[in-house]
């Protein structure tokens, strides 16, 4: 038995998550990462409620949040590149402070009736928010770089945290805005983000050292990376289309079941020993996602029962976390060590782009052709991700 297992104790050795969290310093940076990520599910909902309530226009609210997403797609990889070059502690705090000032400026502009263009400018400033999930994954990658099984568990844990935050964040935002005042979601989200990043940045013992610069260039040049990012783009379209079609057809509450299924499946997946062939593992996950995404389509085409749809969404969500865990593990393997945060941020950016495209396509389909056709969109997007991965993703 290794010294790590002896120190962790017999109970920890049996449970991979307890063993993972027994890593020195892990609980502190995990707590900071959790606080920093919870607002990621709060900000867009809070902004929509705040702007629509003040200006009486959901179109304006949607346009502002869409502009912020577009700005994030441009700025986030550059922020991640700076994190790789200078370290998490030196870059994450000022980048987060800039984003928090943008959120607070948006709050003030809405509250005091500033011109509409100021809302776009303020929300665009939030694009400097660092990829806190990527920074946590980079820490796990550094701590367990010689232990693939532990890294698999860590990536599964981080994906479950992502699902939990995006499941709880919107509900918390709606509760705060509704029970306190319209700006409460944005204000408390900004406080949580800044506090979480400060805690995360303070954990210097687990921060990955700045890797020596190489001539590897952008992660986009890594063999297999463009195809993998294309698969992430298609996977994002799965999430975006499923979300908008479900909200339009059955309301937002039932959508939480998909996130719950994904969170549970991610934790289960992380407790299993992963197959050695990561490409085959990715193809298996994408095939499973394609099959399970057909369940909501079958549910709405055969019955009007809401419980049937709810059960189908719960099962459909079970494929998403394993797919994301395996995809992120492959990103870590393909990306040069000195560009790790940038590589993971590019994957998240591709995912967000797919979510935006999927939302637009799914919304148009469900509005003009009904929910049955709308639920066909995530199935097609999952099939596209599988086809791209099968044809072009290669592991050196």
What single string gives the DSSP state of each residue in 205-258?
A: GGSPPPPPP-S---GGGSTTHHHHHHHHHHHHHHHHHHHHHHHHHH-SGGGHHH
DSSP for 102-131, written as a single string: HHHHHHHHHHTT--HHHHHHHHHHGGG---
% pLDDT > 70, the chain: 95
Name the band, by pLDDT with cuts 50, 70 and 90, for residue 215. low
Per-residue pLDDT reduced to its tens digit, 141-198:
999 988 888 999 999 999 999 888 877 887 788 889 888 999 999 999 999 999 999 9
pTM reported for the whole predicted model: 0.83
pLDDT at 138 (0 to 100): 92
Q: What is the pLDDT of residue 252?
A: 67
List the chain domain ranges.
1-210, 214-396
The C-alpha atoms of residue 133 and residue 130 are separated, in whole angstroms, by 9
Give the model confidence (pLDDT) of 59-101 as tens digits. Answer: 888 888 888 888 888 899 999 999 999 999 999 999 999 999 9
pLDDT score recorded for residue 3: 40
Instruction: Evaluate if residue 238 carries a pLDDT over 70.
Output: yes
d(CA 125, CA 123): 5
What DSSP string describes 337-372?
GGGHHHHHHHHHHHHHHHHHHHHHHHHHHHHHH-HH
pLDDT value for 69: 82
On the question of a common fold for 1-210 and 214-396, the answer reads yes
Q: Which CATH architecture has domain 1-210?
A: Up-down Bundle (1.20)
Angle between helices 340-369 and 58-86 (to 10 degrees): 160
Q: Rounded to an integer, what is the distance from CA 252 to the centroid of its chain?
A: 18
CA distances from 142 to 88, 207, 355 (A): 13, 8, 30
CB-hemisphere CA count at 13 Å for 200?
A: 32
C-alpha–C-alpha distance, residues 291 and 286, integer Å: 9
Instruction: Give the mean pLDDT of the chain.
Output: 89
CA distance 361 to 244: 9
Q: Which CATH number describes the domain made up of 214-396? A: 1.20.1250.20
């Amino acid at each position: 038995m290794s010294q790590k297992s002896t120190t962790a104790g017999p109970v920890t050795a049996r449970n991979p998550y307890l063993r993972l969290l027994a890593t020195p310093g892990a609980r502190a940076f995990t707590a900071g990462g959790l606080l920093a990520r919870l607002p990621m599910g709060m900000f867009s909902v809070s902004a929509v409620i705040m702007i629509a309530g003040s200006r009486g226009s959901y179109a304006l609210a949607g346009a502002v949040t869409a502009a912020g997403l577009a700005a994030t797609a441009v700025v986030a990889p550059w922020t991640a590149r700076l994190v790789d070059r200078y370290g998490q502690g030196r870059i994450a705090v000022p980048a987060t402070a800039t984003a928090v000032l943008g959120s607070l400026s948006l709050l003030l502009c809405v509250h005091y009736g500033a011109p509409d263009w100021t809302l776009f400018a303020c929300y665009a400033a939030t694009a400097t928010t660092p990829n806190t999930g990527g920074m946590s994954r980079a820490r796990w990658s550094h701590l367990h770089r010689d232990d693939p099984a532990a890294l698999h568990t860590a990536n599964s844990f981080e994906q479950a945290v992502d699902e939990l935050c995006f499941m709880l964040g919107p509900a918390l935002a709606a509760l705060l805005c509704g029970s306190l005042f319209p700006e409460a979601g944005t204000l408390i989200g900004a406080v949580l983000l800044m506090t979480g990043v400060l805690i995360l940045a303070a954990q210097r013992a687990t921060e990955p050292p700045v890797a020596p610069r190489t001539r590897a260039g952008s992660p986009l040049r890594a063999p297999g990376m463009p195809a993998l990012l294309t698969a992430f783009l298609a996977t994002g379209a799965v999430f975006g289309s499923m979300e908008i079609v479900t909200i339009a057809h059955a309301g937002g509450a039932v959508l939480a079941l998909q996130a719950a299924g994904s969170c549970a499946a991610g934790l289960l997946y992380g407790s299993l020993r992963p197959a050695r062939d990561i490409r085959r593992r990715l193809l298996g996950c994408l095939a499973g996602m394609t099959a399970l995404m057909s369940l909501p389509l079958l549910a709405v085409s055969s019955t009007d029962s809401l419980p049937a749809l709810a059960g189908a969404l719960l099962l459909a969500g079970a494929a998403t976390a394993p797919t994301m865990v395996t995809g992120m593990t492959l990103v870590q393997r393909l990306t040069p060590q000195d560009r790790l945060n940038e590589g993971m941020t590019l994957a998240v950016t591709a995912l967000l782009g797919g979510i935006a495209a999927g939302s637009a396509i799914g919304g148009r389909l469900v509005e003009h052709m009904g929910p049955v056709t709308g639920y066909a969109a995530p199935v097609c997007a999952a099939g596209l991700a599988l086809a791209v991965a099968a044809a072009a993703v290669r592991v050196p």
